């Protein structure tokens, strides 16, 4: 057994990390294709307010973050209806509220040092209770996506046609945004509140560089997410770094490698086509 796995806290971190690597891109693929990339940042800042409220009130921060995030998700859907022609305003309003409330609650509390682990992730503080919660909620999220896959797929590309086809668009939108909130609350222990949205977006952005279908994009994003999390957790252990930062940097590194290889491949293909054209013209 590798040395890193002899530590119980690293075993817990890898279990939680693998689950996070599966749920974040699974939610992220729908977020990116619906052009809602900022919603992750918005709910993350609200989750920060929830963590601060939990610490201030003596509650388990993950639970309070989950409650705050879900309420914010419901608020976004309510505001989207109020601003039908300016739907992006709902995200900006909730983001502003989340930052404001988080700032006030953090200033009132005395555990500013403890909140650091929630901001950027912490592998040492992942408890057995965290693992049970992460695994349970992650399986719930994945089961929801698989069960509602067809409806989510339809509303991702065309809500109007989906509604005409009998898909309950309003209810599905509401349920989906709640899933985003739950994903953020689940992932913040490993990735950190301020970075969790990056794990939703970057592996998906990488997959879109090479995927030729929706399902292949989803599969690739899961692979890239897993590589980023496993690499990031290993690096953070040996280099004594915040896991959230190393995971996100690993994810960005994978994106750069894929983009570079794709560029080289395109250049090679163009050069080969040009050479073949020249040879054909000379033969004529």
Q: Considering the chain, what is the average pLDDT of its residues?
A: 86
CATH class of 3-200: mainly alpha
The pLDDT of residue 5 is 82
Find the mean pLDDT for residues 145-174.
88
CB neighbour burial string for 251-274, b if at least 16 within 10 angstroms, e if fewer: beebbeebeeeeeeeeeeeeeeee
Q: How far apart are CA 159 and CA 103, in angstroms?
A: 36
Mapped onto helix, strand or coil, the DSSP state of residue 113 is coil
What is the 8-class DSSP label of residue 44?
H
CB-based contact 179:66 (threshold 8 Å): no
Distance from the Cα of residue 134 to its chain's centroid: 14
Residue 279 has pLDDT above 60, yes or no: no
Give the residue from 203, 251, 255, 217 showing the smallest Cα distance to 231. Answer: 251
- For residue 42, how many other CB atoms are within 10 A of its CB? 27
Give the residue from 134, 252, 259 showing the smallest Cα distance to 202. Answer: 252
Q: Which residue has the higher pLDDT, 86 or 23?
A: 23
pTM, entire model:
0.86
Residue 253 has pLDDT above 90, yes or no: yes
Residue 142 has pLDDT above 90, yes or no: yes
Pick from 106-115, 118-127, 147-156: least confident: 106-115
Q: Which residue has the higher pLDDT, 154 or 268?
A: 154
- For residue 108, how many other CB atoms are within 10 A of its CB? 11
| pLDDT tens-place string over residues 191-240 | 888 788 899 999 999 999 999 999 999 999 999 999 999 999 999 989 88
Residue 138 has pLDDT above 80, yes or no: yes
Contacts 24+ apart (CB under 8 A), 143-150: 144/175, 144/179, 145/26, 145/27, 145/179, 148/172, 148/175, 148/176
What is the 8-class DSSP label of residue 242?
-
pLDDT confidence band for 272 (50 / 70 / 90): low
Q: Which residues contact 220 (CB under 8 A, 6 or more apart)?
A: 203, 206, 207, 210, 211
Give the residue from 23, 225, 233 showing the smallest Cα distance to 134. Answer: 23
Which pair of tokens denotes residue 100?
């404001």
The pLDDT of residue 39 is 86
The pLDDT of residue 130 is 82
**CA angle (121, 246, 242) in 5-degree steps:** 35
CB-based contact 23:186 (threshold 8 Å): yes
CB-based contact 21:186 (threshold 8 Å): no
Domain boundaries, the chain: 3-200
The pLDDT of residue 139 is 95
Find the mean pLDDT for residues 110-123.
72
| pLDDT tens-place string over residues 153-162 | 999 888 888 8
| pLDDT tens-place string over residues 37-84 | 788 888 888 998 998 898 888 888 888 999 999 999 888 888 877 776
């Amino acid at each position: 057994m590798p040395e890193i796995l002899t530590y119980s806290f690293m075993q817990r971190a890898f279990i939680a990390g693998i689950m996070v690597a599966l749920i974040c891109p699974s939610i992220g693929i729908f977020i990116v294709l619906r052009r809602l990339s900022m919603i992750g940042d918005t709910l993350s800042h609200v989750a920060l307010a929830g963590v601060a409220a939990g610490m201030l009130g003596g509650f388990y921060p993950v639970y309070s973050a989950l409650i705050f995030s879900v309420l914010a998700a419901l608020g976004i859907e309510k505001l989207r209806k109020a601003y039908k022609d300016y739907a992006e305003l709902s995200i900006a309003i909730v983001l502003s509220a989340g930052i404001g409330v988080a700032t006030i609650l953090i200033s009132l509390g005395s555990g500013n040092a403890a909140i650091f682990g929630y901001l950027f992730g912490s592998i040492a503080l992942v408890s057995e209770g965290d693992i049970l919660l992460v695994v349970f909620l992650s399986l719930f999220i994945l089961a929801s996506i698989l069960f509602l896959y067809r409806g989510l797929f339809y509303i991702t590309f065309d809500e109007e046609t989906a509604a005409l086809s009998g898909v309950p668009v309003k209810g599905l939108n509401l349920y989906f945004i709640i899933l985003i909130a739950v994903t953020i609350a689940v992932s913040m222990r490993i990735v950190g509140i301020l970075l969790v949205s990056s794990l939703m977006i970057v592996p998906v952005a990488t997959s879109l560089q090479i995927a030729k279908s929706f399902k292949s994009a989803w599969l690739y994003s899961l692979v890239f997410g897993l590589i980023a999390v496993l690499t990031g957790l290993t690096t953070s252990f040996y280099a004594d770094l915040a896991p959230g930062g190393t995971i996100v940097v690993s994810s960005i590194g994978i994106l750069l490698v894929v983009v570079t290889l794709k560029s080289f491949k395109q250049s090679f293909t163009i050069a080969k086509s040009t050479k073949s054209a020249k040879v054909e013209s000379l033969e004529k």
